[in-house]
Amino acid sequence: MAHRTVSADRVLVPTAAGATRRPEPDCPVEVALAAISGRWTTLVLRDLMAGPLAYGELRRGLPELSDKVLVERLTALRDRGLVARHEHAGFPTRVVYELTDAGRALRPLLVELYRTGEELQQAPRT
Amino acid sequence: MAHRTVSADRVLVPTAAGATRRPEPDCPVEVALAAISGRWTTLVLRDLMAGPLAYGELRRGLPELSDKVLVERLTALRDRGLVARHEHAGFPTRVVYELTDAGRALRPLLVELYRTGEELQQAPRT
DNA sequence: CAGTATCCCTGTTGATACTG
DNA sequence: CAGTATCAACAGGGATACTG
């Protein structure tokens, strides 16, 4: 094997050419971070991972989250194609939110975030 | 089995009691997000994943990142215990940064961020 | 070389009150 | 019930210039 070959476990991107020198919006890492960006967003996603929820159910699940920010989050998630909104006819109005396939694709990332956080919490203070 | 059991693949947290109702700083997900928070941070981490780098090497690797923000990022990573700083005697000053064990523990998360971002980019527009 | 010191500007968050 | 509308407060990020 040629010398100066970087050992495989040191490589983070498929090809060296794929390594961005700036936070480009189309870098996959930026795309994933943008998907879960915003305070409260991961909590909203977590709740929706269990299945569709009505607006009021979401609100009751996160009592300290204001209407304003909850709507902001849901709108942003919808704009990103991660959540679908279903308005049911009748009165009072009832709106149900559920993850799209793209939204469900975030599950492994949330699991990995949790796992990594736990690992960091247990890390010895070097 | 009892009915109303939530199927395992719907569960995101170990126990229902472990599900926070707010973005608490000690929630593992928040811990992991805090570790990689800040613009440019994932790029700095990526570069350091390949091995120790001098300050000037880091700067040349990310030419559009200002000194101010680079130092901010390195200081923050150091405060979080993810990066170690080694000052080498002599003139001109030479400082080398390298990941700690805790910093290296972020590799799977970065890989998962990249993978998820790619998956989202390929997602069909529903 | 490896940083500091300022200033400013913008986006995000949160509190409060109101509505179809 | 499911949102809108305002406004105030703050933190993050970048440009520029300077230093041990």
A67-112 confidence digits (pLDDT tens): 999 999 999 999 999 999 999 998 899 999 999 999 999 999 999 9
Query: Could you tell me the pTM of the whole model?
Result: 0.91
Instruction: Tokens for A112, please give them.
Output: 């990995």
With residues binned 3-state (H G I as helix, E B as strand, rest as coil), the percentages for chain B, rounded to 5, are 50, 10, 40
Reduced to 3 states (helix: H, G, I; strand: E, B; else coil), residue B80 is coil
Instruction: Tokens for B61, please give them.
Output: 């690797």
Q: How far is B2 from chain A (nearest CA, A)?
A: 18
Mean pLDDT score, B72-80: 98
pLDDT at B74: 98
Q: Determine the residue of chain B that is closest to A63 in CA distance.
A: B21
Pairing of strands B53-54, A53-54: unpaired
Instruction: Tokens for B8, please give them.
Output: 């395992």
CA distance B73 to B78: 8
Whether A64 and B21 lie within 8 Å, measured CB to CB: yes
Q: How far is B64 from chain A (nearest CA, A)?
A: 7
Q: Which residue is nearest to nucleotide D4 (CA to C1')?
A: A68
Whether A10 and B51 lie within 8 Å, measured CB to CB: yes
- Cα four-point dihedral sign A68, A73, A76, A81: negative
Instruction: Please list every residue in chain B whose beta carbon sits closer than 8 Å to the beta carbon of residue A38.
Output: none
Q: Per residue in B24-71, pLDDT tens?
A: 999 999 999 999 999 999 999 999 999 999 999 999 999 999 999 999
